[in-house]
Copies of this chain bind each other. A is one copy, B any other.
Amino acid sequence: MGRKKAAEKGERDNLGVTVTRKEDFSKWYTEIVRKGGFKDQRTPIKGFDVIQPWGYALWERIQGAYDALLKEHGIQNCYFPMLIPESFIEKEREHFKGFEAETANVTEVGSEPLSEKLVIRPTSETIAYHMFTKWIRSHRDLPFKINQWCNIVRWDTKVTKPFIRDREFLWSEVHTAHASLEDGLRQIDDYAEINDRFHEQLAMAAMVLRRTEKDKFPGAEFSVAYDTLVQDGKVFQGPGGHFLGQNFSKPFGIKFTHDDGRKEYVWQTCLGMTTRQIGGLIMQHGDDKGAILPPAIAPVQAVIVPIIFKGKEKKVIDQAKKLKEKLCSLGVRALLDEREYSAGYKFNDWELKGVPLRLELGPKDLEKNEVTLVKRNDGKKSSLKLSGLAKIRGVLDSIQKEMLEKSRRNLEANTRDARGMKELKKSVEKGGFSRANWCGSGECEDTIKDQTGAGIRGSIYGKSEQTFGDCVCCGKKAESVVYIAKAY
């Protein structure tokens, strides 16, 4: 059915994306977010959007996957207050000044002014570590590992972008305390394991980068973040883990007693993963028709669209219901789309939403005791005997593998060495990661940013790469190999 006819029938206006990724990547992205039912920005305050049912169902899957990984690693959930007194955050000035221009402040209740300004959490270190002083006494209380799922407000004054740059977002924040430096560092390795496995489920090939001094989390000793490459050649920053050393335990006074009675400050780490990940997923995998979600975290893995012809409705619908039951019993997250819309409209809608597998069932399929499969990631069609439905698990597994492979190839194909500023500028223009030697100075870091528009994202975490020349900027002896890219 054509768009006009569909519109006449009162079908909603989400009939596909109006621009290609090449024409306008940013518009393409915003249209998918809106028309795919991920997020609605038609709210009264910019940057405070509604996560719609489809977007939220995806978040529940992401959250479930991450939460399971955290729990496997001995991290327990809890919940801290959302409001923090202004006086309270003075304890960690260095840390907090990274946020203070962006905080939303509560100054009154009803129409009564408050005696002290309260800040909506931009992150929860100050309140969490205040509590740590009450909970941690002995070495037996360590390691202490907690997480909270909550909302965060950071009032960015720049233009907002749904999921990618929101003023209110949802996240997981992990905070840990350890009895030794070594155990604290081991926690950063734990984060790497958690995030490696997480990115496999997202089918996103990631660079695990130790950020530069300028770019680390405020108050941290060092930061490690997951960078992935999206289709416009820019980098998307995913979860970040931070080693805090004793930088917070000293001002807060978080001490523990050793077995021999000796008192010492704890070593700490933190980790964050946010709803921004939804934006990363769409930008990473989507095509000109919409989002493409990896089966491991798609809220619906297989959607059944009945193809209805007059007189055969009942038979098709009955069979479609059986098909759905059977798939569910096989552990597939299946949905039967029985809405009063045309099949063409439904195809568009589920392509926008990114469901990995479409199952078409019409009278012709029934005659052959078959169902038609359409893979979302490459559009390939095939037929499957209704007696061999168990094979669908295998099809979903291949989609997951193909998506991860594609992401890996894309990352590899768009990471290139750059020697000297001329080569670096050219490479940055092409998009992706430029691999370069760096002397380690902040001046060169700034010059690179000024001259190329791209920033140093860091060096590979946990692996010391051999330099392959002198500093890309000043020509002096290089200290490390770094990855340079433009980022969201």
Q: Which residues of A contact B (CB under 8 A)?
A: 10, 12, 40, 42-45, 48-53, 55-57, 59-60, 76-85, 88, 100-110, 118, 120, 127, 130-131, 134-135, 137-138, 140, 146, 150-151, 153, 155, 168, 170, 257, 339-340
Closest to A110 in B: B101
> A48–B105 contact, CB under 8 A?
no
> A108–B110 contact, CB under 8 A?
no
Closest to A141 in B: B12
- Cα A45 to Cα B101 with chains together (Å): 23
Residues in B whose Cβ lies below 8 Å from that of A48 = 81-83
Evaluate whether A106 and B120 lie within 8 angstroms (CB atoms) in the complex, with A76-B53, A130-B44 already known. yes
Nearest 10 CB-CB pairings of A with B:
A48-B81, A53-B76, A51-B79, A101-B110, A109-B155, A104-B106, A107-B107, A56-B78, A105-B108, A56-B77
> A57–B45 contact, CB under 8 A?
no
Contacts beyond the supplied A55-B78, A57-B76, A105-B110: 5 A-B pairs with Cβ under 8 Å = A10-B138, A44-B84, A45-B81, A50-B81, A102-B109
Nearest CB in chain B: distance from A402 CB, A:
30
| Contact of A60 (CB < 8 Å), options: B10, B50, B77, B109 | B77
Evaluate whether A43 and B127 lie within 8 angstroms (CB atoms) in the complex, with A76-B53, A78-B52, A79-B51 already known. yes
Number of copies of this protein chain within its complex: 2
Residues in B whose Cβ lies below 8 Å from that of A108 = 104-105, 107
Residues in B whose Cβ lies below 8 Å from that of A109 = 102-105, 155
Closest to A275 in B: B79
| Contact of A77 (CB < 8 Å), options: B53, B135, B137, B340 | B53
> A10–B257 contact, CB under 8 A?
yes
Residues in B whose Cβ lies below 8 Å from that of A101 = 110
> A100–B110 contact, CB under 8 A?
yes
- Cα A126 to Cα B135 with chains together (Å): 40
> B10–A131 contact, CB under 8 A?
no
- Cα A84 to Cα B252 with chains together (Å): 34
Nearest CB in chain B: distance from A426 CB, A:
40
> B76–A43 contact, CB under 8 A?
no
Q: What are 14 inter-chain pairs, A to B, with CB distance below 8 A?
A: A40-B131, A42-B134, A43-B127, A43-B130, A44-B88, A48-B82, A50-B131, A52-B78, A55-B78, A59-B79, A81-B168, A83-B153, A104-B108, A104-B118
Nearest CB in chain B: distance from A114 CB, A:
9
Nearest CB in chain B: distance from A159 CB, A:
16
Nearest CB in chain B: distance from A371 CB, A:
26
Nearest CB in chain B: distance from A139 CB, A:
10
Residues in B whose Cβ lies below 8 Å from that of A100 = 110
- Cα A108 to Cα B10 with chains together (Å): 43
> B79–A146 contact, CB under 8 A?
no
Residues in B whose Cβ lies below 8 Å from that of A45 = 81, 83, 85, 118
- Cα A170 to Cα B149 with chains together (Å): 12
| Contact of A85 (CB < 8 Å), options: B44, B105, B151 | B44
Nearest CB in chain B: distance from A477 CB, A:
42
> B52–A168 contact, CB under 8 A?
no
> A10–B104 contact, CB under 8 A?
no
Closest to A85 in B: B44
- Cα A4 to Cα B45 with chains together (Å): 58
Residues in B whose Cβ lies below 8 Å from that of A102 = 109-110
- Cα A42 to Cα B127 with chains together (Å): 11
Residues in B whose Cβ lies below 8 Å from that of A146 = 53
- Cα A14 to Cα B120 with chains together (Å): 32
> B137–A12 contact, CB under 8 A?
yes
Residues in B whose Cβ lies below 8 Å from that of A57 = 76-77
> A81–B12 contact, CB under 8 A?
no
> B104–A79 contact, CB under 8 A?
no
- Cα A56 to Cα B150 with chains together (Å): 13
| Contact of A140 (CB < 8 Å), options: B110, B118, B170, B339 | B339
Nearest CB in chain B: distance from A468 CB, A:
44
Residues in B whose Cβ lies below 8 Å from that of A85 = 44-45
Evaluate whether A78 and B53 lie within 8 angstroms (CB atoms) in the complex, with A44-B85, A131-B43 already known. yes
- Cα A399 to Cα B80 with chains together (Å): 33
Residues in B whose Cβ lies below 8 Å from that of A130 = 43-44
